[in-house]
Each structure stands twice: as structure tokens, then as C-alpha cells.
């Protein structure tokens, strides 16, 4: 439990997508290796809420980056300049996408070790699933979430 608290503190302090993704991946492995019975239901609810909040932050950074990229392209087009920053911007977007996948992996690991305790989180998951699958941009992470719900919660995965 203490290491997960430290991970959440680190997630709160860090804004770099690559470092956040590594921390999230480590959290998922920690939860899986700890196994069932370690996390209390109230901790699970709190953790799931925080993970979704971190995912929202990532989505906001992606949206902001896309807006900046579009504005940059407009300015360069008006000035007749080439766009040299596309690779860096695409890398940032890819890092954010990986981060969201790793956060979803944390959710999947919680489902795996504590399926019954995860059930109160289903309405939130169902809402996110609907949102994400309906957009091309976030469909992949939505599908990962759906797969984990079915894989770990089986027939209980229906809200």
C-alpha cells in the first residue's frame, strides 16, 4: 500500500508523459504481484477516480497540443514556411497515448486482483467507455478498457 501511495504522490508531481507512463506501468505490475485481498474497497474507488483524473489530464494535454499544432500550421502556411516541428509534436502525442494505455493497464490490474471490489466503479467505466469508443482518437484506449472489463469481470462487466 505504501508504495502505491508513493506512486500516486509521484504522479501528482510529474507532468512528463514518458515518466508518468513508466510509473503507471510499475503500479500495474505492483498491483498484479501483490494479488487479491491487499486493497480495500474504499482504496480501489479512490484509486480508480485518481487514475481517471490523470487520464483526463493527459487528454487535456493532447487536446492542447493539437490546438497548438493547428495554430502553428496556420501561421506557417500564411508565412509560407515549412513545418519542422511535426515529429516532436507527434512524439508528444504518442507518449500521451501510451500514458493513457498504461493508466488503463492499472485499471485492468485492479480488476484482475479485486473484481468484486471493482464493481462499484462500473458506472464510471461504462461512461468513459462510451465516450472513448465514440471517438476515433480515443477508441483504442476505450477498447482496452472494454477488453479488461470483460476479461476480468466476466458477466459482471455489464453495468
Average pLDDT over residues 17-44: 94
Mean per-residue pLDDT, 18-22: 96
Q: Taking the alpha carbons of 148, 20, 52, 68 in that order, is the dihedral positive or negative?
A: negative
Please write down the HEC assignment for all residues of 3-18.
HHHHHHHHHHHCCCHH
Model's pTM, two decimal places?
A: 0.89
Mind listing the pLDDT tens digit for each residue in 101-131?
A: 999 999 999 999 999 999 999 999 999 999 9
Q: What is the pLDDT of residue 78?
A: 66
Amino acid at each position: 500500500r505504501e508504495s502505491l501511495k508513493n506512486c500516486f504522490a509521484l504522479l501528482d508531481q510529474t507532468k512528463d508523459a514518458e515518466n508518468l507512463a513508466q510509473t503507471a506501468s510499475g503500479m500495474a505490475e505492483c498491483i498484479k504481484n501483490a494479488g487479491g485481498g491487499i486493497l480495500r474497497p474504499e482504496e480501489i474507488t479512490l484509486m480508480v477516480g485518481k487514475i481517471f483524473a490523470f487520464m483526463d489530464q493527459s487528454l487535456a494535454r493532447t487536446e492542447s497540443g493539437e490546438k497548438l499544432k493547428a495554430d502553428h500550421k496556420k501561421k506557417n502556411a500564411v508565412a509560407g514556411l515549412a513545418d519542422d516541428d511535426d515529429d516532436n509534436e507527434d512524439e508528444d502525442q504518442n507518449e500521451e497515448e501510451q500514458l493513457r494505455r498504461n493508466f488503463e493497464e492499472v485499471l485492468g490490474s485492479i480488476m484482475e486482483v479485486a473484481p468484486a471490489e471493482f464493481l462499484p466503479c462500473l458506472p464510471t467505466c461504462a461512461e468513459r467507455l462510451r465516450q472513448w469508443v465514440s471517438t476515433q482518437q480515443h477508441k483504442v484506449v476505450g477498447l482496452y478498457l472494454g477488453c479488461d472489463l470483460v476479461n476480468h469481470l466476466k458477466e459482471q462487466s455489464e453495468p
